[in-house]
């Protein structure tokens, strides 16, 4: 019987699972597979596991409960093992590595910071501050100008957008880095110029959130930081 695996904990963890439900349309009961010094929280894996809201919520609820009661290694959504013996083998083979990671995560939480920038505001700033781009913008307005001018305008604007967003991302990470134990940076996307996860000591959590708020106020017009947390340390497990 295949098992859906939620997290790994120390054997001493309270493991309060009675009122929680597992993933699946007909949620199976949560239970614990025990190794010598570590445990894994599991349930019977559904035959057709989908990334549905109900499944994601069930997965997250287990992580939140475990993390509220003590340190745990939260696994990403969708981790399935063949059976109990396979889970137990993983616990035993990786015991030293998992124990070290659990120690590093003790009394620490994750925060995720995403940066968004209003595209229209950014383009207005670029046009206002770059003489060549302003000149090309006027020349190609309403379909005018040559093909070469339109190509140059597009290239220059793209370079400016990338450069400004990279500088903003570096500013955000550099400002927050002194307050964190570890960081995990995702590649920038069309939606977010920065997408960073930070592992923060619990005692510094309030200072970290305050610093994010202050930094948000200092950023240019049209730029916003979105903060989530504290969270179980998904990005550092």
Reported pTM: 0.81
CB atoms within 10 A of CB 162: 12
Q: Does the pLDDT at position 134 exceed 90?
A: no
φ and ψ at 110, to 5 degrees?
-105, 140
Confidence band, pLDDT 50/70/90 cuts, at residue 130:
confident
User: Which residues does 184 contact at the CB level (< 8 Å), separation at least 6?
Assistant: 196, 197, 198, 199, 235, 236
pLDDT (0 to 100) of residue 49: 84
Compute the residue count for the chain.
237
Which residues on adjacent β-strands are paired with residue 80? 4
3-state secondary structure of 213: helix
Confidence band, pLDDT 50/70/90 cuts, at residue 211:
very high
Mean pLDDT for the chain overall: 90
* pLDDT average, residue stretch 146-171: 87
Interval 76-113: pLDDT, tens: 898 999 999 999 999 999 999 999 999 999 999 999 99
* pLDDT average, residue stretch 112-121: 92
Helix (H) or strand (E) holding 5: strand 3-10
Interval 168-196: pLDDT, tens: 999 999 999 999 999 999 988 889 999 99
- Own/partner long-range contacts of 57-63 (Cβ < 8 Å, ≥24 apart): 58/20, 58/21, 58/22, 58/23, 58/27, 59/6, 59/23, 61/20, 61/21, 62/6, 62/7, 62/17, 62/20, 62/22, 62/30, 63/6, 63/7, 63/232, 63/234
Q: Does the pLDDT at position 145 exceed 80?
A: no
pLDDT (0 to 100) of residue 237: 81
* pLDDT average, residue stretch 50-58: 90
Q: Which domains does the chain have, with CATH numbers?
A: 3-106 (no CATH), 109-236 (3.30.70)
* pLDDT average, residue stretch 202-221: 94
Is residue 52 within 8 A of residue 212, CB to CB? The reply is: no
What is the DSSP secondary-structure string of 21-32?
--STTTTPPPEE
pLDDT (0 to 100) of residue 38: 95
């Amino acid at each position: 019987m295949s098992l859906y695996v939620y997290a790994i904990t120390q054997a001493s963890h309270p493991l309060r699972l009675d009122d929680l439900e597992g993933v699946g349309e007909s949620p199976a009961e949560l239970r614990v597979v025990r190794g010598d010094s570590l445990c894994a929280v599991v349930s019977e894996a559904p035959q057709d596991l989908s990334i549905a809201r109900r499944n994601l919520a069930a997965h997250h609820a287990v992580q939140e409960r475990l993390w509220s009661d003590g340190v745990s290694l939260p696994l990403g959504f969708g981790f399935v093992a063949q059976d109990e013996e396979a889970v137990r083998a993983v616990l035993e083979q990786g015991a030293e590595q998992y124990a070290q990671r659990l120690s590093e995560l003790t009394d620490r939480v994750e925060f995720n910071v995403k940066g968004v920038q209003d595209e229209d505001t950014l383009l207005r700033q670029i046009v206002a501050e770059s003489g060549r781009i302003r000149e090309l913008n006027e020349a190609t307005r309403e379909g005018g100008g040559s093909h070469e001018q339109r190509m140059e305008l597009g290239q220059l604007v793209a370079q400016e957008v990338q450069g400004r967003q990279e500088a903003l991302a570096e500013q955000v990470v550099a400002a927050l880095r002194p307050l964190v134990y570890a960081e995990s940076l995702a590649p920038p996307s069309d939606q977010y110029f920065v997408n960073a996860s930070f592992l923060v000591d619990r005692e510094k959590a309030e200072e970290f959130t305050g610093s994010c708020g202050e930094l948000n106020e200092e950023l240019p017009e049209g730029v916003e930081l979105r903060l989530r947390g504290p969270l179980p340390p998904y990005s550092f497990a």
